[in-house]
Amino acid sequence: MKSSILEDLSVLVVWIQALFCLLHLVGKYCAVLVKGLVSILLSCTQRQSPSKMTKIISAGCPMNAFMKYSDAFQQLETAAFVLVSLSTGLCSRVACGGMKSKKSKPTVTSAGEMSSGNRSEKNTQHQTDSIPSSQDSLEELCYNGFGELTNGQSESVEVVGGGKDVTKKGACEKQPRWAIGDLSRCLEGNKATDIRLAAISIGMVGRGGLGKLKIRGSHPLRGVTDMGLSAIGLGCPGLRILTLWDCPLVGDNGLSSIAKGCRLLEKLDLHNCPMIGDKGLEAVATNCPGLLTLNVESCPQIGNKSLKAIGQHCSNLESFSISNCAFVGDKGIMPIVSTSTKLIKVKLQAVKVTDNTLSAMGHYCKSLTDLMLVSLQNVTEKGFYSMGNALGLQKLKCLSVTSCRGLMDASLVALGQGCPILKQVCLRKCEFVCDKGLKAFTEVAKSIENLQLEECNMISTVGLIEALGNCCGKLKILTVERCCGVRVCGPVTMAVRACESLKSVNVRYCPGFGNGCLALLGSVCPQVQSIDLSGLDGITDDGLFKLLGNCKTSLVKLNLSGCIEVTDRAVFVIQKLFGKSLQSLNFDGCQKLTDQSLRFIAECCSSLQELDVSRCGITDDGLLFLASGSHDCLEILSLSGCVQITDKALPYIGKIGERLLGLNLQRCTGISSRALDLLTAHLWRCDLLV
């Protein structure tokens, strides 16, 4: 009960302070503004529209004075709305609090614990500290709200973002600065409250106008509600981008206020807003026809009705993403994909669409370049086949399909035929795509530059090698991750065709990938410049020699993190072959590496920029070798988990760190806290993790 009273008192203090700010402003323009302020307050209490307020003000003021102080009127109108809203909310809470005060019910603290009326003094102090001070609120409302209003009388106005001065020729030619919308604000966590939004709404009027607002999270006790968004809708008509993430108290009324007041809205991002439904999104569709980007994720109240309205009114939509909305199906998605002819990017995840939606996309989305389909359980092979055979995706460049059981060999080939300029393909958890389908797909999709396969367990090493042979013309990046079928079960006698265009090879966490696979891979990619073999605990030095021995170009990046069988012998060969060209080396978790590896690196790898030897068998002597070498290019060094490093290495680390941008010494238990403090003070230019 005490915390509720303190919260109400803080809001009341802010209300009074904002009123004093208004009265101070009125003192400067009393001849013109007193009558306008009274009219605005009366209009707010009578719930008049902003346009009617403006008519009331202009009727009681000379036209030249009204135009001269248009910014002041705009601020006063917003401030008056905020004051009335605060007072209304305060009165309602006081009334509710008065009724609840008769019953000493337990309350929930900010930590989520139940507390009774006789809670401890510590909990009371915690609740008091969570309430913002009145001084902070005063500064926020006074400075942000009225700090630059007096600049409205200057003879030149600086246009935000343009860098030019526009000279005022007459009062009637002056344009309201709030309509520009070049400023941005971001509220996160406890800072996301209605009071802050109200202050932003007032302050943006004379500062160029709010163009971008991002709200991530919400205060657990005084989070953003419809009232805060209503203030933004009234005072920030130039808003173009709105992001609402994890706002459980914002509903349809708040989003409707934004839609009616911010008709220039171009991008709307809604993530985990359970109270926003079709009503709010329909208001956006009807009032914001210029909407270009719509992202909706985990909003369970949004369904087909509002998305149908988006398709009817927002014909300029270019990017559309809908994820984890259980009530969305064909009736909501099909109107968008069939009428929004300018769609460039589409993402559908965990929605109840069927083959009809994919078929419509194949026919009507002729401008589509990026398509992502995730967990579409009701789509069969017929849907993917129809989408490819419709021949409407002629401009599609990036295709990503994840956990879609309907994607099979025949439908994958149809997509390859229907998308002639497809450059990037990502297949994740496509359990029915096998070697035959991948080989046929790469035969018809001749423009692929980036191929990514993840958890596609029906694809084997033979199918992968054959697919690479078909992509020998343009494929630049290959990524194979967690594919259990990629393994060598016996001697391979097939003819291997080299893929000369392949520059980057990433094979990660494939449990059956061993030395035999490395030998095949080496014959396929002789021009490779970047190799990532993370998590391949079955490969050894001999397998690496077969892979690296076929490289005809200079290797730039090598990642062997988690390759626990790699030893100093492999590092010796690596630095002999590519010491002058290597820029990044990662040996994280290679436990068999010792100080000798650092000696080899210090002697030959003069171009090295990033080095990670975390969790290796490195001691103080290894750092001595590294410090004695010439590494002017080294910027990032990670020694995390090297428990054998002690305080004796402090001078070596200090010498190395003088030219570093980042140094990781986390979990180096052999270094004392005092040594770390000295090192932190010495390496103040370096981003040090301890």
Instruction: Give the residue with greater pLDDT, 422 vs 497.
Output: 422
pLDDT beyond 80 at 368 = yes
Among all chains, which residue has been given the structure tokens 């004796």?
648
User: SS3 for 525?
Assistant: coil
Alpha helix positions (H), 293-347: 304-313, 330-339
Sorted by where each starts, the structural domains of the chain and their CATH numbers stand as: 575-690 (3.80.10.10)
Total-model pTM: 0.77
pLDDT of residue 299: 97
pLDDT tens figures, 465-483: 999 988 877 999 999 999 9
pLDDT tens figures, 256-275: 999 999 999 999 999 999 99
pLDDT tens figures, 372-392: 999 999 999 999 999 999 999
In angstroms, the Cα distances linking 535 to 190, 386, 514, 540 are: 40, 39, 11, 12
Nearest to 521 by CA among 542, 566, 551: 551
Contact in structure between 660 and 686 (CB atoms under 8 Å): yes
Q: Burial level of 637, CB count in 10 A (0-12/13-18/19+)?
A: buried
**Which residues, including other chains, have CB under 8 Å from residue 141's CB and lie 6 or more apart?**
14, 17, 18, 21, 198, 199, 202
- What is the average pLDDT score of the chain? 80
Q: Burial level of 678, CB count in 10 A (0-12/13-18/19+)?
A: middle
Average the pLDDT over 227-244 and give the result: 93
Longest dimension (CA), the chain: 96
pLDDT of residue 509: 96
- Give the whole-angstrom CA distance, residue 194 versus residue 231: 8
In angstroms, the Cα distances linking 248 to 51, 205, 219, 272, 480 are: 31, 28, 10, 7, 39
pLDDT tens figures, 275-300: 999 999 999 999 999 999 999 999 99
Average the pLDDT over 74-91 and give the result: 51
pLDDT tens figures, 304-320: 999 999 999 999 999 99
CA dihedral 653, 656, 657, 662 (to 10 degrees): -110
418's tokens: 């229907």
135's tokens: 């001084």
Average the pLDDT over 452-469 and give the result: 93
- In the chain, % of residues over pLDDT 90: 60
Nearest to 555 by CA among 535, 533, 575: 575
In angstroms, the Cα distances linking 564 to 511, 513, 560, 617 are: 13, 14, 9, 12
137's tokens: 């609120």
